[in-house]
Structure 1
Amino acid sequence: MSSGAAGGAVLRLHHRPGELTACNIGHLADCKGRLAAAERETGVAFLAGEMLRQGCGTSCPSGTRRRGAGQPSLSGRDGAAVRESGGHGGHGAADFQGESGAPPSRDQTRGKGMSMLSTLTAFLAPVLLATSALGAQENWPQWRGPDGNGVSAAEGLPTNWSQTENVVWATALPSWSGGTPVIWGNRIFVTSASETDSVTPTAPAEQPRQSRGGGRDPGGESLLLICFSKSDGRELWRYQLDVGNQLRRKHNDTSPSPVTDGEHVWVATGAGVVTALDMEGKRIWRRELQKEYGPLGMNFGYASSPLLHEGRLILQVLHGQLTDDPSYIVAFDALTGKVVWRQERPTDAVAESPDAYTTPALLEHGGKSQIVISGGDYVTGHDPLSGREVWRAGGLNPERRGNYRVVGSPFVVGDMIYAPTRKRPLLALRAGGTGEVTDSHLVWKWEGAGAPDVPTPVSDGKYFYMVDDKGLVTCLSAPAGTVVWGPERTALGTVSASPILADGKVYFINENAVTTVLAAGPRFEALATNELDGSYTLSSPAVSGSRLFLRTGTHLYCIISE
């Protein structure tokens, strides 16, 4: 692992220990707005909490009263109230300095602490409430965002951009990947292969490493997790997860997206190596699925992303084309890596149809959680405490074909479970069943044109948007499955990335890094077509605050509105 300086964003509020001035009180409303803006960059909820714990005041430094007493000094890119710390491990840390430049001692603040705490609580409570509501918008902790369905409540997102317009920063990447960037606070995590031929190949002789296929180089031998600063795109650290990167037709062994809770980050590789790291890139634990449970037997390599739920890291292995071993679901203790449970997932699918490249979804219904798995001709719901199957729905492969491997993942919106398959049918199921629910909980089934093979659709519960692999977009009624509009043509080109829905817009990016932005709603309206670098792009977009993050085959872009 190589490491750069950790660039955690730091908001500096100058103060005199124990002092809350009338000047500050008079400008707290303005300060709240600035704090909210700063939270979009750095996570101010942590800062405010630290202020309350330490009993720090917010008095005005000399020379700032004309500007608005009590306001934080603004610096950094785009006027954000942040500075990058020079030390390793500075993520989310609040740096409180008195006028002497030293932090206050407990003795200095003890006398006035309680009085000041109550005052600060009164004035900062609205800020904390507002920023806690913003948390899900600020973080994109897993593939397809906070709820795993591609929907964000963020506002002020960009509509138009190019390589020279509305790009805050662009960072070169070692190689391409199907993995989505995940974001927490000021940190972005991406998977990548190393630069091509940067190390000597060490793939096993019985599985010779493919150097080319479909006109694409798989990238270098090493499989990496790289951490970047969200504020300016600097690389903070990188960690080598494994070696032996392979080209798997359209994708390589970096396709699984990471998942993070802000304290740790977990990631799997296409070879089934699962690694947990802290936010500084230090390894906590490592498991190897193939060594423990047998070879991965899907035809095109492992691509499922892990799901984090209540201290458990849950992974699915749905395979059968290249193995007689059963499919299974496994849960590891997220902190220790110990196996919590492992359950086989039976299927009567044949040939390639047991294989699935989907990612598990989380269903919350009736006060209980379930893990939703799709593939092998079935959609199933599982108890996250034991892995036990609670319900099962068939219908993904009604003609029992042998080539119905599934790529598009299941996702949940409210009480509806949506499960795509190899183009059609696409199923909408009602939550709440037990046992066999194929007929009893089927709400609608789509068998018409426009259904995807690879991209996962997106829905806000009212409208359901899907893009097929050729870029044709169709909008259905989410509750009824009837056509609202489409299929409509977007930018020409193959689409593999999944769309996202945010700020009244739907974003679709094709394999040439061209993004079509549509207005969400009952009328087809193309708002913009935006080109970037033209490189091979499989990654789905990510959102944090009012910024859009796009990972192309060569760069990671941070894009803002005009």
Structure 2
Amino acid sequence: SPNTGEEIQGGEKLLLGCLSTADGSVLWQRTLAEGNAYWRKHNNTSPSPVTDGERVLAITGTGMIRAFDMDGEELWHYDLQAEHGPFGLMWGYASSPLLYDGKLFVEVLHGMNTDDPSYLIAFDAATGEVAWWQERPTDAPGESPDAYTTPVILEYDGQTQIVVSGGDYLTGHDPATGEEVWRAGGLNPGKERNYRVVGSPVAVAGMVYATSRRNPVLAFRAGGTGDISESHLAWKWTGAGGPDVPSAVTDGRYFYMVDDRGRATCLDAKTGAVVWGPERTAQGTVSASLVLADGKLYVVNENAVTTVLQAGPEYKVLATNELDGGYTLSSLAIAGGRIFLRTESHLYCIGQ
């Protein structure tokens, strides 16, 4: 049973809190920014913070980035909107940052309510110095330039790239300079005006996977330069049960996804062939991303009900767990053999 610990209340302040994993007590909390805003399913604290164990970095929907040491002392801050202009997304900014090899990578993919370009920006994580700024062009129409995804790392053949999905394209970038190495289209084949992307890309074992607005789901082989839309396309999936909001996961052998209605599907990660699904999980809408850990898949719906599935070629429900019946859009975090689940009213630590 959970120890509910202490309460954090921010009101219009956007807060970052550090809690003890032992008992949930609040070790420190800091104000990131002020002035909340609400959209249908998120607010200005939707982006997740990141840490490398030496510092923790967070960004808000207002565009304020702040870095702290592990004791909560501020190291630096940077205001994206003050430096690069207002965000122009229809549903507000919600992309989480990527922390890798001493740099913090941030994407701003927008266009519905602005003529300013989409861009990527990298910072020295220790000092906040801007390492580079890179425009990311798109010809996506209407709302389709907008994306709420998070960049991911692709490692293959001794190379490393930053992979970004949104604005009708999947792109790979040199982490040292931000320069675009390759680009793949096909996420919005009909060039529809409302194909904003929410689910983040996945990069494992020399493959890159991208979901769109339910379908298609695309998989590309790593290693190309320029336009790789056709040359490196491994497979394309257009079946029922594709995700809109939840991000997918893969172990390199199987590719797993869950749609917003809670239907789970498993594809062969190399060929795109259906292994099983779509199969129902606990009734309810799913916005949280799938989590794969210890041979298990965790599907959390908006009623805070978690369906635990066995990973692999057979669909098997291992458990269905309900907590306080509260509302949640958050994805699970797993560390130190424990599961952390946030609802609108509580943060739970689950373990033995």
Scaled by the length of structure 2, what TM-score is found?
Answer: 0.98
Once the two structures are superposed, the pairs formed by residues 324-335 of structure 1 within 5 Å of their partners are 324-335=115-126
Identity percentage of aligned residues? 63
* Counterpart among 297, 319, 331 of residue 110 in structure 2: 319
Distance 1:171 1:537 in 2: 19
Aligned to 1:444: 235
3-state SS of paired residue (1:246): coil
Q: Which amino acid aligns with 2:67?
A: A
The yes-or-no answer on 1:170 pairing with 2:4 is: yes
Deviation at residue 223 of structure 1 after TM alignment: 0.2
Which amino acid is 1:250 matched to? K
Match of 2:181 in 1: 390
1:542 Cα deviation after fit: 1.2
The Cα of 1:522 is off from its aligned counterpart by: 1.1
Distance 1:237 1:295 in 2: 31
**In the aligned structure 2, how far is the partner of 1:367 from the partner of 1:169?**
45
> How far apart, CA to CA, are the structure 2 residues paired with 1:382 and 1:227?
33
Q: Aligned AA for 1:423?
A: R
Q: 1:507 to 1:172 in 2, by over 3 A?
A: farther
| Structure 1 residues 287 and 412, CA gap change in structure 2 (3 angstroms) | same
For 1:487, the equivalent position in structure 2 comes to 278
Other-structure match for 2:219: 428
Alignment RMSD: 1.1
Q: Work out the CA distance in 2 between the residues paired with 1:492 and 1:507.
A: 14
Q: Is the 8 A contact 1:171 1:557 kept in 2?
A: no
Amino acid at match of 1:476: L
- More strand per residue: 1 or 2? 2
Aligned-residue offset at 1:310: 1.9
Q: Which amino acid aligns with 2:226?
A: G
| Alpha carbons 1:172, 1:556 under 8 Å: kept | no
Matching residue of 1:559: 350
Distance (whole Å) between structure 2 residues aligned to residue 370 and residue 504 of structure 1: 27
Output aligned runs, 1:98-137, within 5 Å: none
Displacement of 1:232 after TM fit?
A: 1.7
Amino acid at match of 1:480: T
Q: What runs of 5+ residues in structure 1 fail to find an aligned partner?
A: 1-166, 175-193, 196-219
CA contact 2:6–2:24 (8 Å) conserved in 1: no
- For residue 504 of structure 1, the aligned residue among 287, 292, 295 is 295
Query: Contact (CA 8 Å) 1:377, 1:396: kept in 2 or not?
Result: yes
Match of 1:295 among 86, 99, 102: 86
Q: Which position in structure 2 is the counterpart of 1:307?
A: 98
Amino acid at match of 2:141: V
Asked whether the 8 Å contact 2:6–2:26 carries over to 1, the reply is no
Counterparts of 1:550 and 1:543 in 2: how far apart (Å)? 9
Report if the CA contact (8 A) 1:173-1:554 is conserved.
Answer: no
CA distance in 1, matches of 2:29, 2:46: 17
Q: Which amino acid aligns with 1:354?
A: P
8 Å CA contact 1:333, 1:340 repeated in 2: yes
1:286-316 deviation digits (Å, cap 9, x = unpaired): 1100000000001111111111122211100
Query: In structure 2, what is the equivalent of residue 229 of structure 1?
Result: 20
Q: Which runs of 5+ in 2 are unaligned?
A: none
CA shift digits 1:250-291 (9 cap, x unpaired): 101111111111111100000110001111111111110000
The aligned amino acid for 1:500 is V
What one-letter code is carried by the residue in structure 2 that aligns with 1:290? Q
Distance of 2:323 and 2:2 partners within structure 1: 14
* Cα distance, 1:506 vs structure 2: 0.6
Q: What SS class does the counterpart of residue 247 from structure 1 fall into? A: coil
Q: Match for residue 200 of structure 1?
A: none
Question: Size of the alignment, in residue pairs?
Answer: 352
SS class of match (1:252): coil
Distance in 2 between the 1:549 and 1:264 partners? 20
Q: Deviations over 1:208-252 (max 9, x none)?
A: xxxxxxxxxxxx201000001112211100000011011022101
Q: Kindly indicate whether residue 70 of structure 2 is the aligned counterpart of residue 279 of structure 1.
A: yes
Q: Give yes or no for contact 1:376–1:405 (8 Å, CA) kept in 2.
A: yes
Partner Cα separation in structure 2 for residue 463 and residue 449 of structure 1: 18
Offset, 1:487: 0.8
1:526 aligned onto 2:317: yes
Contact 2:254 2:269 in 1 (8 A): yes
C-alpha separation between the residues in 1 aligned to 2:111 and 2:29?
A: 34
Partner of 2:128: 337
Q: Is the CA contact 1:170–1:558 (under 8 Å) kept in the aligned structure 2?
A: no
Instruction: Note if 1:549 corresponds to 2:340.
Output: yes
CA distance in 1, matches of 2:81, 2:204: 33
Q: Please identify the structure whose Cα radius of gyration is greater.
A: 1
Distance in 2 (CA, whole Å) between partners of 1:168 and 1:303 is 29
Query: What is the aligned partner in structure 2 of residue 39 from structure 1?
Result: none
- Following superposition, the deviation at residue 172 of structure 1 comes to 5.7
Compute the TM-score of the two structures, normalised by the length of structure 1.
Answer: 0.62
**Higher RCO by CA contacts (8 Å cutoff, separation 6 or greater):** 1
In structure 2, C-alpha distance between the alignment counterparts of 1:418 and 1:473, rounded to whole Å: 17
What is the Cα deviation at residue 170 of structure 1?
A: 3.4
Helix, strand or coil for the counterpart of 1:169? coil
